[in-house]
Structure 1
Amino acid sequence: MECITWFAPILPGKLDEWKALDAEMNGPRREEHARSRKRMGVTREVASLVQTPQGDFVSLFHEAEDLAKAFQTLAASEDPYDVWFREHLVSVHGLTAEMLAGPIPATLFFDYRADG
């Protein structure tokens, strides 16, 4: 299993839109989000709001058997939920499908596990 943590900026003035996106994913679109992540092969996803003097960010944790494939699947998907989700990635974070399809947006340097 692979895992990665990374940050995405929340563009200036987009914090309320990010919160609304989060509410949609955790509320009325929760099942669609779960199906999307299952298609991607993602087994765990965590998003945390980080507010700094330099601006707002979302800190992300993703876990999957193949993270590159997971991001590529999202980038290329024509599923209506995935298209909707990508539109918000552009408007809230400035992330495009091309960016998702490329190399994973972070490089793992350290991964401590108590069990091994």
Structure 2
Amino acid sequence: MECITWFAPILPGKLEEWKALDAEMNGPRREEHARSRKRMGVVREVASLMQTPQGDFVCLFHEAEDLAKAFQTLAASDDPYDVWFREHLVSVHGLTAEMLQGPPPAEVFFEYRDAGGAA
């Protein structure tokens, strides 16, 4: 299993749109989001808001068997939910489908895992 943490900017003036997107994914579109992540092979996803003097960011954690394949699946999907989600990636974060075609958008440099502890 692979995991990665990364962040994306929330473009200036888009914080309320990001919060509305999050509320929709956690509310009326929760099942569609779960189906999307299953198609991608994502088993865990965490999004946190980080507000800094340099601006607002969403901090993300993704876990999947194959992260590159997961991002490529989202980038190429014609599922209506995935299309809707990608539209928001562009408008809220400035991220395009082309940016998701390659390897995950961050590189892991260090990871600690307690081999004897519970997950």
TM range (shorter): over 0.9
> TM-score under structure 1 normalisation?
0.98
Q: Distance in 2 between matches of 1:102 and 1:18?
A: 24
Q: Aligned partners of 2:103, 2:39: CA distance in 1, in Å?
A: 19
Q: Which runs of 5+ in 2 are unaligned?
A: none
Residues 65-80 of structure 1: pairs in structure 2 closer than 5 A: 65-80=65-80
Tell me the distance in 1 between the aligned counterparts of 2:24 and 2:53.
27
Unaligned runs of 5+ in 1: none
Deviations 1:11-50 (A, max 9, x none): 0000000000000000000000000000000000000000
> How many residue pairs were aligned?
116
Structure 2 length-normalised TM: 0.96
Percent of paired sites with the same residue: 90
The superposition leaves residues 48-106 of structure 1 with CA deviations (integer Å, 9 ceiling, x where unpaired) of 00000000000000000000000000000000000000000000000000001122110
CA RMSD, Structure 1 to Structure 2 (Å): 0.7
**Corresponding residue for 1:30?**
30
**1:1-116 equivalent positions in 2, closer than 5 A:** 1-115=1-115
Counterpart amino acid of residue 85 in structure 2: F
- Moved beyond 3 Å, runs of 4+: none
